Amino acid sequence: MSEVITNQPIYFPPAKRADLMNPLVLAYMGDAVYETFIRQYVVSQPNHRPNHLHREATKFVSAKAQARALDRMLPLLTEEEVDIMKRGRNAKSGSSPKNTDILVYRHSTAFECLLGYLYYQQRFDRLDELMRFTLEK
């Protein structure tokens, strides 16, 4: 089990190594990590009206936006990262998406799985690099 890291304000190490975790669990955490990153980003911008913050965040955290971001970053991914991404894409969640088609949903899950994996591997520089890449137009 990992040691508690000091450069993160809140951290509980997972019960299993990241490479042994269910990809949907990695996606669950990746979703939270990315949501926090995007919320921090929109709050760093000048307009703080709540409705504006929500609309801006949704531009990044929707399934469609995450699937597009994954598609754009594919050439940047290592072989290991592609393998993790594929595990997330192929995971069967048991539920169907409400606002998008299944392929977009699976790619969004793959994106979140990769972020969750990097988070639990404590590869924060790489995680930050890929998340910042999603901010680029």
Active-site residue identified among 19, 31, 101, 125: 31
Query: Over 90-129, what HEC string results?
Result: HCCCCCCCCCCCHHHHHHHHHHHHHHHHHHHCCCHHHHHH
Does residue 19 have an active-site annotation?
no
- 48 to each of 21, 58, 66, 74, 85, how far by Cα in Å? 37, 15, 23, 33, 34
Q: Which of 100, 113, 106 is nearest to 34 (CA)?
A: 113
Among candidate residues 90, 30, 87, 99, the one with its CA nearest the CA of residue 63: 99
**DSSP summary character for residue 137:** -
Catalytic residues: 31
